[in-house]
Structure 1
Amino acid sequence: MPRNGLAIDSEDSLAIRAAWLHYAGGLTQAAVAKRLGIANVKAHRLITRATQNGAIKVTIDGDIAECVALETELADRFGLEYCEVTPDLGEEGLPIRTLGVAGAAFLRREISGGQNRTIGLGHGRTLSAAVNEMPRFDARGVQFVSLLGGLTRNYAANPHDVMHRIAEKTGAAAYVMPVPFFANTLEDRSVLLSQRGVSDVFGLAASADLKVVGIGTSRPEASLVSSGMIEGTEIRDVQQKGGVGEMLGHFFDAQGAPIETMLTERTLSIGLDDIRDARIVALAGGDEKTGAIRSVLMSGCLSGLITDERTAMALVKNEPS
């Protein structure tokens, strides 16, 4: 379901959108006016209104009517318990800025809420942006655990790993998986899993109260390939077998069915059996990821989604990626 079911005043909604564009998107008041098709003086008044209403803090509190409508439709269509649609800031490519701000706010709420003893985290550019946006605060009542191997095939560090940074920002314990995301062979995977402590981290990951993940694509330029996690021949195999979306190393076709690939038995992450009944919230968006996000939504594995307005509209309209 969306974050709330309250009726929203249209002028308040417009004021919140203007505040997002100005404070989160970095647009000048003149640029905000141009984006919204209003006079400069009205843009100024809307931003002032949001400020006077107490919406402008470290984050922006308030809802935008169009975003709430999209949240409701996505939640109903895909059976989500939680859905958040962030305003379109006009970013080119991945909407890193708007999703980073929203992801940081979500993590802060979940950490401070006291309901989660263990929070599992994936990795990727969007999750990395969310952690970068988080302020420093004390979260020592919570522990974090990586949901997947954090190294490349050559045992190099993953540039989008978030575990060390979230530990630094919160002071909380953070348990990493000191293994590659995908092993080179099935035998290598068995050896890695037999190492002292690795199986304990896998157990902790599987039992995490909340799992926050990214969503990947099966395109040749996918982050999995560019970061050195997998090779071009492997992503082509995924495509040939109908793979569209990826979550935690598991690939799904356009209808949301999991597919078997040359990577399946070599994946070092929590298994599908540990995903099905878990509380999993994905942070993902962008035109190039629409098909992948829909694929993972169709799998029924997600209980929550945080995405941007443009992507939400494409998902609702069932537009191709």
Structure 2
Amino acid sequence: MYYAEGMTQNAIADALGIGRVTVVRMLAEAKNLNEIKISLRGDLEEFPRLEIELEKAFGLKQAIVTPLSGPDADPTAPIGAACGLFISGLVKANMKVGVGWGRTLHGSLNYIDESQVPGVEVVSLMGGVSAVRQYNPAEFAWRFSRIFNADCYLIAAPVVVDSEATKTALVERCGIGPVFEMAKSLDVVLLSVGSMSPTSTSHVFDVISEAERQGLIADGAVGDVMYNFFDRFGHLVDNEMNSRIMSVSIAHLKQVPLKLLISGGKDKVEAVLGGLRLLEPNVLITDEITAQALLDEVADKSSRGRRKAIGA
């Protein structure tokens, strides 16, 4: 609660039904004994029923579900912690890693064990953002690569351009084509999805206007992955915005052998659902509230299908 979710000592005392003095003493003792290492213990991150059911429902090789202190807790830090722990054991010598961006992925950086891994290459899968607020795609890719002392390759262009013709010209004539070519031979990709809410990363960073956001919603968009907007069924929406995004194509991402989707939150359930259907990842890292909501969505669809068959 204190180190991962950032709760105050008073809030922790209220949640656990103990005195604030007890909370302060326990935190101080843990620090004095050098017992503080921010990570999720194995016994805490295993929710066997949720993980197994997610794996079956979405064809995953592995689902990792993180605990929350309560239904209204922000899942960003817990998911980031679980992601960092997973990545620490994932990256191997000579691996080529493609990275997206987002608040959750950015939060994972604090939980990845720093190590010198030879031959690792990190490829940013999308262009950059000019109006930076705390983090952007290039900064995330660069910091991720430094953890492993890896080479880093960036798409030196804005994430959204004015036309499909501009996108084509930048890729073919302005020196960033080789980065797109590298993305065709990745070993693993780390991706997250954003929602269509006014507080989503794409809107807060002023990459898309309010009129564009409303237009995308009208076209059925429930979320985006690297500003590629999709509907709840996992289809890219028919909106001109998708033709001018400077990112590696979804078709190429789907061909990567190992795909990680790292996202969660009550406002992202539809986005995560659509992202699962769009990307068909091997690994999902999410929180317990989102996990149950995803399973409820699948169960509700299955129930409607049975009722329809009986009625027929």
Common fold: TM-score over 0.5: yes
- 2:60–2:281 CA contact under 8 A, matched in 1: yes
- 2:224–2:271 CA contact under 8 A, matched in 1: yes
Match of 1:192 among 147, 161, 170: 170
Partner residue in 1 for 2:207:
229
Gaps of at least 5 residues in structure 1 are: 1-20, 48-54
C-alpha separation in 1, matches of 2:285 and 2:276: 12
Letter in 2 for 1:104: G
The Cα offsets for residues 112-165 of structure 1, whole Å up to 9 and x where unpaired, read as x44x6101000111111111333433234311010111234xxx5573320122
Partner residue in 1 for 2:274:
295
Partner residue in 2 for 1:74:
54
The Cα offsets for residues 289-313 of structure 1, whole Å up to 9 and x where unpaired, read as 1111011123353222100111112
Partner residue in 2 for 1:108:
88
Partner residue in 2 for 1:138:
116
The Cα offsets for residues 235-258 of structure 1, whole Å up to 9 and x where unpaired, read as 222111111121133222122222
Partner residue in 2 for 1:15:
none
Partner residue in 2 for 1:183:
161
Letter in 2 for 1:296: G
- 1:83 aligned to 2:63? yes
The Cα offsets for residues 68-117 of structure 1, whole Å up to 9 and x where unpaired, read as 21111111101111211011134856422111211211221112x44x61
- 2:65–2:286 CA contact under 8 A, matched in 1: yes
- 1:311 aligned to 2:287? no
- 2:162–2:244 CA contact under 8 A, matched in 1: yes
Matched residue SS, 1:275: helix
TM-score, normalization by structure 1: 0.77
Partner residue in 1 for 2:95:
117
Q: Tell me by how many angstroms 1:197 deviates.
A: 3.1
C-alpha separation in 1, matches of 2:99 and 2:108: 11
- 1:165 aligned to 2:143? yes
- Identity among equivalent positions (%) equals 30
Cα pair distance change 1:25/1:118, threshold 3 Å:
same
- 2:202–2:227 CA contact under 8 A, matched in 1: no
Alignment of 1:246-261 (within 5 A): 246-261=224-239
- 1:94–1:287 CA contact under 8 A, matched in 2: no
C-alpha separation in 2, matches of 1:93 and 1:62: 21
Partner residue in 1 for 2:30:
none
Letter in 1 for 2:269: T
TM-score, normalization by structure 2: 0.79
The farther-off stretch of 118-127 and 189-198 is 189-198
Letter in 2 for 1:272: I
C-alpha separation in 2, matches of 1:165 and 1:86: 24
Q: Tell me by how many angstroms 1:26 deviates.
A: 6.0
C-alpha separation in 1, matches of 2:148 and 2:45: 33
- 2:104–2:192 CA contact under 8 A, matched in 1: yes
Matched residue SS, 1:206: helix
Letter in 1 for 2:136: H
Q: Tell me by how many angstroms 1:276 deviates.
A: 2.4
C-alpha separation in 2, matches of 1:204 and 1:65: 34
Cα pair distance change 1:37/1:311, threshold 3 Å:
farther
Q: Tell me by how many angstroms 1:29 deviates.
A: 9.8
- 1:275–1:301 CA contact under 8 A, matched in 2: no
- 2:126–2:248 CA contact under 8 A, matched in 1: yes
The farther-off stretch of 100-109 and 135-144 is 135-144
Partner residue in 2 for 1:12:
none
- 1:285–1:307 CA contact under 8 A, matched in 2: yes
Matched residue SS, 1:212: strand
Partner residue in 1 for 2:307:
none
Cα pair distance change 1:91/1:103, threshold 3 Å:
farther
Cα pair distance change 1:34/1:180, threshold 3 Å:
same
- 1:94–1:285 CA contact under 8 A, matched in 2: no
Q: CA RMSD in A?
A: 3.4
Letter in 2 for 1:311: T
Match of 1:269 among 233, 244, 247: 247
Cα pair distance change 1:60/1:165, threshold 3 Å:
same
C-alpha separation in 1, matches of 2:177 and 2:45: 46
Gaps of at least 5 residues in structure 2 are: 28-34, 301-312
